[in-house]
Amino acid sequence: MTQVRAVERILRAYPTIEGAGVRLHRAFGSYEVPQFDPFLMLDDFRASRPEDYLPGFPTHPHRGIETVTYMLKGSVEHADSMGHAGKVNAGAVQWMTAGSGIVHSEMPKPVNGQMGGFQLWVNLPQSHKMMDPRYQEITRKQIPEVSIPDGTTIKVLCGSVADVTGPVRDIVADPEYLDVSVDPDAFFSHPVKEGYTALAYVIGGDGTFDPREGHPVMNRDLILFGDGPSITARSFKKGFRFLFFSGKPIHEPVAWWGPIVMNTTEELRQAFREYQDGTFIKKKA
Ligand code: FE
């Protein structure tokens, strides 16, 4: 099969309020289940007004998922109930596997008045929902950059491009996470495993992912691809920057309430019972 993946859907990120009052844009979330399986949610918290993000995300629990924070500007201060604390700085990524449970806070901090990044949620299959929590914390310098001669630069956070493998490893959904910048009027092609879900989220410039070059897209457009062995992107005059994700679908029932995603409502009830009676944390990260 040599067919390039078609553009199946284009969605526009929509404004919403999360945490203690953070105004952000959501590319997809619980309303879109199961279209983006194994991915559950993508939040875009690029913002120019401090009041949009300073309320932050005070103490909250997670179970059954992984959360991936990738910062472009500013930083997020992170602290959890087990004493693990750190900062995700511009250009860095934190891949947090909540597994059986983590209780943490995430507080955006501007640098030179600027703040912006993305949080992706990746589902865990039933077999791994209660795995031990873990972090993969990757600095900007640890993320390899691949330059392709005809005008594309790719930051490889997770997955492989041209024999360069990103630093985030051993993730259950076998995901790719790329930050792709395409020069003006240039063309990019990338292989994708067949049967894997593939999506792109535009973060600058404009262009098209349609192999027939229709469907122009711009900042804050989300593209879901049909199946096939590769995707293509063509930039227009301003060039084009997008995040690209692919992953192996889990194909399991999703029971989702707030920051906890399990397979059944009974498992959700149990999680919230445990959070209330203090038995939520099973294992220190
Ligand atoms: Fe969180």
Average pLDDT for the chain: 95
Domain assignment present for residue 260? The answer is: no
Residue 277 domain flag: no
Residue 284 has pLDDT above 80, yes or no: no
Q: What is the domain extent for residue 230?
A: 7-247
Q: Contact at 8 Å (CB) between 206 and 217?
A: yes
Q: CA angle 262-71-36, nearest 5°?
A: 35
Tell me if 283 is assigned to some domain. Answer: no
**Considering the domain boundaries, does residue 1 fall inside one?**
no
Tens-place pLDDT, residues 115-164: 999 999 999 999 999 999 998 999 999 999 999 988 999 999 999 999 99
Is residue 131 a part of any domain in this protein?
A: yes
pLDDT at 164: 96
Mean pLDDT, residues 213-240 taken together: 96
Cα–Cα distance measured from residue 104 to residue 13, given in angstroms and rounded to the nearest whole number: 26
DSSP 36-88: TTTEEEEEE--BS-HHHHTT-EEEEEEBSEEEEEEEEESEEEEEETTS-EEEE
How many angstroms does the Cα of residue 47 sit away from the middle of ligand 1?
Answer: 18
Going from the Cα of 260 to the center of ligand 1, the distance in angstroms, rounded, reads 10
Contact 241, 203 (CB under 8 A): yes
Whether residue 36 is predicted with pLDDT greater than 90 in this model: the reply is yes
Percentage of the chain with pLDDT > 70? Answer: 99
Evaluate whether residue 152 is within a structural domain. Answer: yes
**Residue whose C-alpha is closest to residue 117's, from 19, 246, 25:** 25
The share of the chain scoring above pLDDT 90, in percent, equals 90
Please write the tens of the pLDDT for every residue from 62-100: 999 999 999 999 999 999 977 889 999 999 999 999 999
In a domain, 38, yes or no: yes
- 59 CA distance to ligand 1 centroid (A)? 8
Mean pLDDT, rounded, for 174-186: 97
DSSP state of 169: -
Q: How far is the CA of 128 from the centre of ligand 1 (A)?
A: 19
- State the residue for tokens 């691809």: 225
Cα of 121 vs centre of ligand 1, distance in Å, is: 10
Alpha-carbon dihedral 211, 212, 213, 214, rounded to 10 degrees: -120
- 264 located within any domain: no
> What is the CA(211)–ligand 1 centre distance, in A?
37
Decide if pLDDT at 2 tops 80: no
Q: What 3-state class would DSSP assign to 112? A: coil
- Give the domain CATH number at 117: 2.60.120.10
Total domains in the chain come to 1
Residue 149 Cα to ligand 1 midpoint, Å, equals 39
Q: Please, which residues have CB within 8 angstroms of residue 213's CB and are 6 or more apart in sequence?
A: 234
Please give the pLDDT value at position 49: 86
